[in-house]
Structure 1
Amino acid sequence: MRSIRDLGSSHGWRLQRGVLDDGREVFAKTGAAASGVFASEAAGLRWLGEAIAVPEVVEVGADRLVLSWVRQEPPTAAAAERFGRSLATMHRAGAAAFGAPWPGFIAELPMDNSAAADWPSFYGSRRVLPFLRMARLPAPDVAAVERAVERFAEVAGPPEPPARIHGDLWSGNVLWSGESGVLIDPAAHGGHRETDLAMLELFGLPYLDRVLGAYREEWPPAEGWRERVPLHQLHPLLVHVVLFGGGYRDSLMNAVRRVLAL
C-alpha cells in the first residue's frame, strides 16, 4: 500500500483510508472480529451490489475488510430522489427466501439468517426474540415484547415475497456520492422491504421525504405501511438496548405499545 491514514475506530475495529500501489483509494476495517463478521459484510455488499451502488470489495479476510473508497458529497433533493428509486429497485431484486445463505451480523452481534417460511415467523424467531433474550429487560417488558411477537402474523400486513434488504439502514450507513445514496455496512438478507423504510425513519435521513416519495412512485408500499413502522423498528431498538444499554428502553417499549395497539 502506497499510503495509509488512521480514521479512528468503531466496534473495536481500526478504520483506515489508504491508497494502493495502483492508485486506487480504499477504506479498510482491521482487527480482531467475531468469526465471520467481515466475510458476512462482504457477501452482503456483493449481493446488494447486483442491484444498487455499493463499494467494491477489494479484499476480505478473517482480520480485515478492504473496500473501494466512497468520495462523499453533500446530500441534495435530487440525490435523495434517485436514492429512493434505487432502493425500490434493490428491494424488487428479491431473495430466494427470508434469510440468507451466510451467517448474519449487525455490528458485532450475530444474527440467525437461516430461512423461515414467512416473514412474521422469520422476524419473530430470528430477529426479535434472540435480541430480547440478550437485552436483560425487566420481566414485564419481556412479557410485553413476547405479546407483540404473538401478534406479528396478524399485524404484518399483506404477505409479500422476500425483498433484498440492507437490514441496518440507518442514516450513517448511507453515504451521499455520485448524486445518489451509496449503501455501506449492511446486515443484508431476504426480508421485508418495510424494514429498511422503518429504519430510515428511526434515526432520520436528509431529505427523507424525497427518498420516500420517489420510492412510492417506483414501488408503492402496501396500504397501512406507515402504521406498521413501529413493528419494523422493534428489532433495531432491541439491538440498541443490547449494544448501548437502557437509554433506548423507553423508545423500545413505546414501539411495543404501538404494535399491541394495531
Structure 2
Amino acid sequence: MTGDVADARAAVSRLLGVEPGRTHSLGGAELVTLSGGGQVVAKRGSGEAAVAAEAAGLRWLAESGDVPVPAVRGADDEWLLLDYVAPGAASVEAAEAFGRGLAALHLRGAPAFGSPPPEGPADAWIGLAPMRNEPHEDWASFYAGERVEPYVRAAVDDGLFTTEQAAVFGEVCAKLPDLVPEPEPPARLHGDAWSGNVHWGGDGRVWLLDPAAHGGHRETDLAMLRLFGTPLLDHVLGAYAEAAVDAGSRLADGWASRVPLHQLFPLLVHTVLFGGGYARQALAAASTALRV
C-alpha cells in the first residue's frame, strides 16, 4: 500500500468515523469505498489553504442547487473528502440544462469582485498555482491586480517573458476599463471551468468539480469553457444566453470577442506552471484583446 493510499484511508477513518474498504487511484486523488456503503473521493490539498478554499467554494456553489457539485463529506488541514460522482456520456439535454444552471448560478452574485467564498481564505489555489482572492470595487482593478500582474511578474522572473513582452500585458491592464465597457455586478464564479472540471455524470447531469470560486465577471467562466474544448459547448452557451435574457441580464454585446481577454488568467497560470507554449498563447491572447 502506497503512502498516499494509506494516508487517504486514514483520513476517511478519522473524518468519517467509518472503516475504509477498497481503494484505488483516480489520478491525483483516491476513490475509497466505505464499509457501510457508498464511495468518497479523498483529495490531498496542494497547499496550506487549498482544502479550505475548495471546501468553501463547493459549499458556496452548492447553496442554490443551480449546478450540481460534489458534497463535502469531511475536511481537515490536509484532506478533502467528497461524494463520488460516477461518469456518464455527454448529451444535448444535459449540456443545455448545464448552460441554464450556470447562468442562474452566476446571477446569484458575490459580495465584490475578488471576494472569496464565505469562510474561504484569501490565499487560495487554482490547480497547483496560488491565487489571491482580494475584494475590489471594480472588475478591472481586480483582474489586473490579482489575475494578470502577479503571474506576469512570476513569468518574467522565470525568464518566460521579456520586459518588452510583459509590457503588452501592462497595456491590457491599463485599458481594461475600456475593453469591457458595460459594467456588471460581480458574478458567483466557479473560477476554473475548463473541460476537465466539467463532469458528465452517470445521472444525466453535468457536474462542476475542483472550483477556484470567487466573485468575478461571468464572461470569465464562459471563456474558460472554451479554452480546452468542452463537449457540446454550442448547446451550453446557447442555453446560457437564452437563460440570461429570460432573467433580464443578457450578455453584453461582443462578449464572444472578449474570450481572449478572459483567457489571459488561465493561460498565465499555465505559463507559470508549465512554461513553453503557454507563454506564447498568453502573449497572443493579450495582443488579440488589444485589437478588439
For the aligned pair, the TM-score class normalised by the smaller chain equals over 0.9
Q: Provide Cα deviations, 1:52-89, integer angstroms capped at 9, x if missing partner.
A: 21000011111111100001111111110011011111
Q: Choose the corresponding residue for 2:221, options 196, 203, 211.
A: 196
Whether the 8 Å contact between 1:84 and 1:215 is mirrored in structure 2 is yes
How many Å separate the matches in 2 of 1:84 and 1:71?
21
The DSSP-based 3-state class of the residue aligned with 2:46 is coil
CA distance in 1, matches of 2:221, 2:93: 20
1:75 to 84, 90, 95: 90
Deviation (angstroms), 1:175: 0.6
- 1:80-229 superposed matches below 5 A: 80-101=95-116, 102-103=121-122, 104-136=124-156, 137-177=161-201, 178-219=203-244, 220-229=250-259
Larger Rg: 2
Q: Confirm or deny that 1:44 pairs with 2:57.
A: yes
Secondary structure at 2:58 match in 1:
helix
Counterpart Cα distance in 1 of 2:63 and 2:181: 28
Indicate the residue corresponding to 1:241 in structure 2: 271
Return the alpha-carbon distance in structure 1 between the equivalents of residues 193 and 261 of structure 2. 15
For structure 1, which runs of at least 5 residues remain unmatched after alignment? none
Write the distance in 1 (CA, Å) between the matches of 2:130 and 2:263. Answer: 18
Amino acid at match of 2:78: D
The answer to whether the 8 Å contact 1:37/1:108 transfers is no
Distance 1:4 1:118 in 2: 49
How far residue 111 of structure 1 moved from its aligned partner, in angstroms, is: 1.4
Q: Is the 8 A contact 2:220 2:263 kept in 1?
A: yes
Partner residue in 2 for 1:6:
24
Equivalent of 2:30 in 16, 19, 22: 16
Count of residues paired in the alignment: 257
Encode CA deviations 1:180-199: one digit per residue, 9 max, x unaligned. 21011100001000000000
Give the alignment's TM-score, normalised by structure 2. Answer: 0.85
Percent of aligned pairs with the same residue?
46
Q: Matched residues in 2 for 1:72 and 1:133: separation?
A: 39
The root-mean-square deviation of aligned C-alpha atoms, in Å, is 1.3
